[in-house]
């Protein structure tokens, strides 16, 4: 997953020719109290799109104060009225869905089909959160004891915050924001400083939807803003998606400060190929899973485990051949804009260099590079951060290219003799986000579903990301939280159970 850090290229004062983004605090667009600004880069071209302020603690305090002030009235607002604003926002986002998808592609570099799919998931989460009148209902037990009834009610808590990743600047914030607001809380979000324009534009739509002032707030910035969220006494909880290193730090700091936390970390998602799999379908599926979004998604497959030598040889032959055919290009080039499978750039020069370093590490550890994408050049886009599909074979568990999340278009292929060994490799890995099996055997699929220690399991599905109605999250070092993102499950994060035990004696007869 993405990492909590400052933008790579430059920290410069704003120029008159570059748009300077503002914060949205208490219902107003407000210039940040910032001494420095970060360039927001189009990774496909190197062009500077905007400048995002490195907001101060004073900016954070203002946003949290606005949210705290708005909370009392918002919590008392009937849930049907709260979700009415989400319905308005839903209409506005559907109206501007295509332009938002293009904004994602412009600042992130993923293909237009991938950006459109991201917008569909955002819409799906909004639709799900509109069901809060059902999702937030409590429980009632009549006759818990003699003439005594028991009841559980779920109440909003106050101000919640999140900081988002660069790789899904629209979808990931909506794993949290609409549920928190619909449940009666108020919210402050910090989008990734590398891809802030998407959430900035969505905030303009939130303003257009007429949400009461202070219920939703936006503060741009770098890791200083995230730390301020975790330190502020008025904040009840923090959600984030990023690397496991950062997720662990967030979990520890929030726990020390008495806050709830959802800290989603890194991944190394495995695809297990059984001898009975439909190999042609499998290869097409794996190509999309490994190279979509240039491999920069937490559900991207990056480790392929083949059961048996024949399966291993067949997968290598066909997967490497198919990988050579993947289009590497600027996703907004009209010639490829609507192609279903385009591998765009990685997010930054720093990310590209890190991937190159890991490729070198893999070679030094004895893995074989069956396909090297490091030398790819996109014509007229020489300043873009491109890496073509890259495939390692002869990979052993424990090698750095298998152990680490590479977060790029790099796949590693391993071989085992039986399914039990494949499951053991997955279960011994530090991450447990997602895993899939390709098989026609119901027995093998059932064994894999039950025994594999990963939070999200796929059967003949290369990207086992659940729809918005179901929870999203991993295991082990892929998630530092008890409550997963999105759907009914996340409502428990944004509400406090209050348990009531009551009885009433009869009035005295007159």
Tens-digit pLDDT profile for residues 74-119: 999 999 999 999 999 999 999 999 999 999 999 999 999 999 999 9
Non-local (6+) Cβ contacts of 20 within 8 A are 14, 31, 37, 50, 51, 53
Query: Active-site residue among 254, 298, 306, 343?
Result: 298
pLDDT of residue 132: 98
Non-local (6+) Cβ contacts of 82 within 8 A are 74, 132, 181, 182, 184
User: What is the rounded radius of gyration, in angstroms, for the C-alpha atoms of the chain?
Assistant: 24
Cα(80)–Cα(208) distance, integer angstroms: 19
CB contact at 8 A, 179 and 485: no
Per residue in 165-184, pLDDT tens? 999 999 999 999 999 999 99
Cα(434)–Cα(478) distance, integer angstroms: 9
pLDDT of residue 509: 64
Tokens 């066909």 found at: 318
Cα(315)–Cα(366) distance, integer angstroms: 20
How large is the average pLDDT for residues 247-266?
Answer: 97
10 pLDDT more than 80: no
pLDDT of residue 386: 98
Cα(410)–Cα(90) distance, integer angstroms: 36
25 pLDDT more than 80: yes
Pick from 492, 504, 470: nearest CA to 152: 492
Indicate the helix (H) or strand (E) that contains 368. strand 368-371
9 pLDDT more than 50: no
Cα(102)–Cα(417) distance, integer angstroms: 45
SS3 354: helix
Per residue in 447-495, pLDDT tens? 999 999 999 999 999 999 999 999 999 999 999 999 999 999 999 999 9
Per residue in 378-405, pLDDT tens? 999 999 999 999 999 999 999 999 999 9
CB contact at 8 A, 68 and 186: yes
- Distances from the Cα of 133 to the Cα of 78, 362, 380, 485, angstroms: 9, 52, 53, 19
130 catalytic residue (yes or no): no
Cα(22)–Cα(457) distance, integer angstroms: 40
> DSSP assignment, residue 289?
H
Indicate the pLDDT class of residue 15, thresholds 50, 70 and 90. Answer: very low
Per residue in 200-217, pLDDT tens? 999 999 999 999 999 999
Pick from 242, 200, 256, 275: nearest CA to 19: 200
pLDDT of residue 507: 87
pLDDT of residue 510: 55
pLDDT of residue 392: 98
- Domains, the chain, ordered by start: 11-266+477-498 (3.40.605.10), 269-459 (3.40.309.10)
Non-local (6+) Cβ contacts of 399 within 8 A are 362, 365, 366, 367, 412
Question: In the chain, what percentage of residues exceed pLDDT 70?
Answer: 96
Cα(443)–Cα(457) distance, integer angstroms: 15
pLDDT of residue 7: 35
């Amino acid at each position: 997953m993405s990492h909590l850090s400052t933008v790579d290229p430059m920290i410069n004062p704003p120029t008159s020719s570059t748009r300077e983004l503002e914060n949205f605090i208490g219902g107003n667009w407000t210039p940040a109290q910032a001494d420095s600004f970060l360039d927001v880069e189009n990774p496909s071209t190197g062009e500077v799109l905007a400048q995002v302020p490195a907001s101060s603690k004073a900016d954070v305090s203002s946003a949290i104060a606005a949210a705290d002030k708005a909370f009392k009235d918002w919590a008392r607002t009937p849930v049907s009225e709260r979700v009415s604003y989400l319905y308005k926002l839903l209409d506005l986002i559907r109206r501007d869905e295509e332009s938002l998808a293009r904004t994602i592609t412009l600042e992130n570099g993923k293909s237009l089909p991938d950006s459109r799919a991201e917008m569909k998931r955002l819409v799906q989460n909004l639709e799900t959160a509109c069901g809060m009148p059902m999702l937030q209902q409590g429980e009632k037990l009549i006759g818990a004891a003699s003439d005594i009834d028991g009841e559980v009610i779920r109440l909003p808590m106050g101000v919640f915050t999140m900081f988002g990743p660069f790789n899904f600047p629209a979808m990931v914030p909506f794993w949290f924001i609409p549920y928190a607001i619909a449940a009666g809380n108020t919210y402050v979000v910090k989008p990734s400083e590398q891809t802030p324009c998407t959430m900035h534009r969505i905030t303009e739509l939130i303003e257009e939807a007429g949400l009461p002032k202070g219920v939703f707030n936006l503060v741009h910035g770098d890791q200083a803003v995230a730390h301020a969220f975790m330190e502020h006494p008025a904040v009840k909880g923090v959600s984030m998606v990023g690397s496991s290193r950062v997720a662990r730090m967030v979990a520890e700091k929030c726990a020390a400060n008495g806050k709830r936390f959802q800290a989603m970390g890194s991944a190394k998602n495995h695809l297990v190929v059984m001898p009975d799999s439909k190999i042609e379908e499998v290869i097409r599926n794996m190509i999309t899973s490994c190279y979509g979004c240039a491999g920069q998604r937490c559900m991207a497959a990056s480790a392929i485990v083949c059961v048996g030598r024949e399966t291993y040889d067949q997968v290598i032959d066909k997967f490497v051949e198919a990988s050579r055919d993947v289009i590497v290009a600027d996703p907004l080039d009209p010639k490829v804009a609507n192609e279903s499978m385009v591998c765009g750039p990685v997010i930054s020069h720093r990310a590209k260099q890190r991937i190159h370093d890991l490729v070198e590490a893999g070679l030094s550890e004895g893995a074989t590079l069956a396909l090297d994408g490091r030398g790819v050049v996109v014509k007229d886009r020489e300043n873009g951060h491109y890496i073509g599909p890259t495939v390692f074979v002869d990979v052993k568990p424990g090698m750095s290219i298998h152990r680490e999340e590479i977060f790029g278009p790099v796949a590693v292929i391993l071989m085992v003799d039986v399914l039990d060994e494949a499951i053991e490799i997955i279960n011994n890995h530090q991450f447990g986000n997602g895993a899939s099996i390709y098989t026609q055997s119901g027995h093998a699929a059932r064994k894999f579903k039950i025994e594999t220690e990963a939070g999200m399991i796929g059967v003949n599905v290369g990207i086992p990301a659940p729809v918005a109605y179901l929870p999203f999250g991993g295991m082990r070092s892929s998630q530092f939280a008890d409550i997963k993102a999105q759907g009914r499950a996340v409502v428990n994060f944004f509400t406090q159970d209050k348990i009531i035990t009551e009885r009433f004696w009869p009035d005295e007869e007159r």
